[in-house]
Amino acid sequence: MSVAARKITPNDILSDREYSLRRKELRSDAIALKKHRRVEVGSFATFYFENYQTMWLQVMEMLRIEKGGAEQITGELEAYNPLIPQGDELIATLMLEIEDTRRRNDVLLTLGGIEETIFMEIGGTRIHATPCEYDDRTTPDGKTSSVHWLRFKLTKDQIARFDSDRVVIGIGHRNYGHMAVLSDETRDALAKDLV
């Protein structure tokens, strides 16, 4: 699979049999790949930066679980292809990971609109994330979802400086304000999406 691939096609889909035979190896490769694509921000927010490989594996897993055959492939590609970076952007899944169900519900009720407060800074410039999904992730009572998909659109200058300047990802919500500096390894991994 190409590092710079931008779209999963039906030709990229393995048969159930082939995927079953290779699943252990592919999942092991994915763990290694994702190691530097994961960034914790604060005590329970984690960003998982997506690319062709992560989305391809997600599609393969969905096909394996749901067993919808050829009819399912089209829907999975429509859902996951938009989450593959197109060379001038980074796309992340934000997970608000709180194990205790009662605490998770209480906290999510205080974080409405959190997806509108996400940013990335490259050197001194700030990029505001835009939600990738079309559905509102905050309910009328102010409860946010525990999963958000976010797009960071970069300029040519920001792309050029990405692997040399300090890169910070942050959340500026009034009830959850945290930032994290990306490690050199994470910057190196994500820079491959910016080609």
Task: Look at the block and give the residue holding tokens 């976010």.
Answer: 150
Closest CA to 175 of 120, 106, 129, 127: 106
Distance CA 35, CA 42 (A): 18
Distance CA 57, CA 61 (A): 6
Are 85 and 50 in contact by the 8 Å Cβ rule? The answer is yes
Q: Is residue 22 part of a domain?
A: yes
Max Cα distance, the chain (Å): 50
Return the pLDDT at 1. Answer: 46
Q: Is residue 4 part of a domain?
A: no
Are 126 and 152 in contact by the 8 Å Cβ rule? The answer is no
Distance CA 49, CA 18 (A): 27
Q: Is residue 65 part of a domain?
A: yes
Q: Is residue 5 part of a domain?
A: no
Whole-prediction pTM: 0.91
- DSSP letter for each residue of 126-169: EEE-EE--SS-SB-TTSPBPSEEEEEEE--HHHHHHTTTS-EEE
Number of folded domains that form the chain: 1
Distance CA 5, CA 100 (A): 38
Q: Three-class SS string for 58-70?
A: HHHHHHHHHCCHH
| Beta strand spans in 117-158 (E) | 118-122, 125-128, 130-131, 147-153
Return the pLDDT at 7. Answer: 94
Q: Is residue 29 part of a domain?
A: yes
Q: Is residue 131 part of a domain?
A: yes
| Mean pLDDT over the full length of the chain | 92
Return the pLDDT at 4. Answer: 58
Return the pLDDT at 140. Answer: 79
- DSSP 8-state secondary structure symbol assigned to residue 144: B
Q: Is residue 37 part of a domain?
A: yes
Q: Is residue 113 part of a domain?
A: yes
pLDDT in tens, 91-103: 999 999 999 999 9
User: Could you list the residue range(s) of the whole structural domain that residue 145 is in?
Assistant: 10-191
Distance CA 172, CA 108 (A): 15
User: Distances in Å between the alpha carbon of 143 and those of 25, 173, 186?
Assistant: 39, 13, 31
Per-residue confidence at 139, pLDDT binned at 50, 70, 90? Answer: confident
pLDDT in tens, 105-137: 999 999 999 999 999 999 889 999 999 866 667
Strand (E) or helix (H) holding 189: helix 184-191
